[in-house]
C-alpha cells in the first residue's frame, strides 16, 4: 500500500515530521520573532509566575502566530488554570501546558471525513477562493478515496477558467477516475446536475465536485454557489453530503473571515487547511476552532499526495508548540 494511504499509519510520522519542519518550531524566542513559532512562547516563564506583564507578552506571541484575539484569551485562561498560581518548573512543563491548552481547543473539531455506505453517490462539494489549493486538494482526496476501495468521479464545476477544467482532467487521468466537464462558461449547476446523474448511473460511490474560486464578498458569486446547492438537493434532498472549504493558511485571519462567510451562505460541513508550508502560521486553525463549529478534515504541507493528511489535534498541537528537546536541537 502506498505510504500516503489514509487507511494505514505509515504516513503519519513522516507527515508530521514535515509539518514540524514547515512550522519552524522552536527556532526563535518570542522576543526575537514576530513569526509563527510558539515553541518558546512560555519558555521564559520557567521559575516565574504568570503576572500581568507576562500575560501581555504571551498574548503578543499568540497573536503573532495568527491565533486571533478570542482564541488567545481562551488559551491564556486555560494556562492560568493549569499553572494555578505556581511557578513553572521547567521548559518542558511550560510547553506541555501550552500544548495541552491548544489541544483542548482543537480536539472537538478533529473529526475525519467518513464516507458512509449510503447514500450513493456521496456528493462532496469543494468550495473556496482562487489560489487556496482547492483543485489540488480534490486530486489528493480522489486518490485517498480510491485507495479505500471507493469508485470516484470528478465534476469540473469551475467553468469560468479553462485552466481549471484542464487541471482537474489531469488529476482525473493521474488517479484513473472519470471527469465530467462542459465547455468553458457553462452553468456550474448544470455541470453538477449532469455529473450527479452520471455518477448515479455508473454506480459511483463518491462524486467530488469542483466549484469556481470565488471571493466571499462577491454576492452574485455566492448566490451562484447557493444555486448549485439547490440543484443538488433536487436530485437528492440530503445532498451535498459534504460541503468542504479549502483555506490557505498563509492568509491568517482572512482565512477565518472566508470560512465564516461561506458558512453563513451555504453551511460548511468540513475544512481542509492548505499551505502550512508556505508561510502558514498554524495558529489560524485555533482561531477557526474557536469561532466555527465545523470539523477540520485535512491539513496540507505541500503539493504531493503524501503532503495532505487527516487532521489530528494532539499531533498538530505538538508540531505547533514543539518540545524543549527540539528547541535545544535547533539552537
Residues with Cβ within 8 Å of residue 241, at least 6 apart in sequence? 119, 122, 123, 124
The pLDDT of residue 30: 37
DSSP symbol at 161 = -
More confident residue, 92 or 157: 157
Q: Sign of the C-alpha dihedral, residues 315, 320, 321, 326? A: positive
Beta bridge partners of 315: none
C-alpha distance from residue 185 to each of 15, 71, 161, 220, 230 (Å) = 38, 42, 8, 15, 20
State CA 236 to chain mean position distance: 27
- The Cα–Cα gap between 110 and 97 comes to 20
pTM above 0.75, yes or no: yes
Half-sphere exposure for 97 (CA within 13 Å, toward CB):
26
Cell of residue 8, nine digits = 494505514
**Residue ranges of domains in the chain, CATH in brackets:** 11-109+320-324 (1.20.120.140), 122-312 (3.40.50.300)
Mind listing the pLDDT tens digit for each residue in 91-139?
788 888 889 999 999 999 999 999 999 999 999 999 999 889 999 999 9
CA-based nearest residue to 322, from 51, 61, 95, 16: 95
Mind listing the pLDDT tens digit for each residue in 250-284?
898 999 999 999 999 999 999 999 988 766 578 89
Amino acid at each position: 500500500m502506498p505510504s500516503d494511504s489514509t487507511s494505514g499509519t505509515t504516513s503519519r510520522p513522516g507527515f508530521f515530521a514535515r509539518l514540524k519542519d514547515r512550522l519552524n518550531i522552536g527556532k526563535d524566542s518570542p522576543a526575537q520573532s514576530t513569526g509563527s513559532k510558539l515553541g518558546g512562547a512560555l519558555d521564559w516563564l520557567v521559575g516565574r509566575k504568570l503576572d500581568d506583564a507576562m500575560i501581555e507578552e504571551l498574548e503578543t506571541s499568540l497573536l503573532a502566530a495568527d491565533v486571533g484575539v478570542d482564541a488567545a484569551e481562551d488559551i491564556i485562561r486555560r494556562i492560568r488554570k493549569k499553572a494555578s498560581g505556581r511557578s513553572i518548573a521547567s521548559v518542558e512543563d511550560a510547553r506541555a501546558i501550552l500544548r495541552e491548552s491548544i489541544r483542548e481547543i482543537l480536539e472537538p473539531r478533529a473529526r475525519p471525513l467518513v464516507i458512509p455506505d449510503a447514500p450513493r453517490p456521496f456528493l462532496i462539494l469543494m468550495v473556496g477562493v482562487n489560489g487556496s489549493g482547492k483543485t489540488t486538494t480534490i486530486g489528493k482526496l480522489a486518490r485517498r478515496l480510491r485507495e479505500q476501495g471507493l469508485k470516484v468521479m470528478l465534476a469540473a464545476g469551475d467553468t469560468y477558467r479553462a485552466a481549471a477544467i484542464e487541471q482537474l482532467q489531469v488529476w482525473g487521468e493521474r488517479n484513473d477516475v472519470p471527469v465530467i466537464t462542459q465547455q468553458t462558461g457553462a452553468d456550474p449547476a448544470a455541470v453538477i446536475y449532469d455529473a450527479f446523474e452520471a455518477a448515479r448511473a455508473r454506480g459511483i460511490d463518491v462524486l467530488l465536485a469542483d466549484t469556481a474560486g470565488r471571493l466571499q464578498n462577491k454576492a452574485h458569486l455566492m448566490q451562484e454557489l447557493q444555486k448549485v446547492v439547490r440543484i443538488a438537493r433536487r436530485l437528492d434532498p440530503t445532498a451535498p453530503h459534504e460541503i468542504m472549504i479549502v483555506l490557505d493558511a498563509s492568509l491568517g485571519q482572512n482565512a477565518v473571515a472566508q470560512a465564516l462567510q461561506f458558512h453563513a451562505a451555504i453551511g460548511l460541513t468540513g475544512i481542509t487547511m492548505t499551505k502550512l508550508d508556505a508561510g502558514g502560521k498554524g495558529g489560524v486553525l485555533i482561531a477557526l476552532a474557536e469561532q466555527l463549529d465545523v470539523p477540520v478534515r485535512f491539513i496540507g504541507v505541500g503539493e504531493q499526495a503524501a503532503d495532505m493528511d487527516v487532521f489530528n489535534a494532539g499531533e498538530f498541537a505538538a508540531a505547533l508548540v514543539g518540545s524543549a528537546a527540539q528547541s535545544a536541537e535547533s539552537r
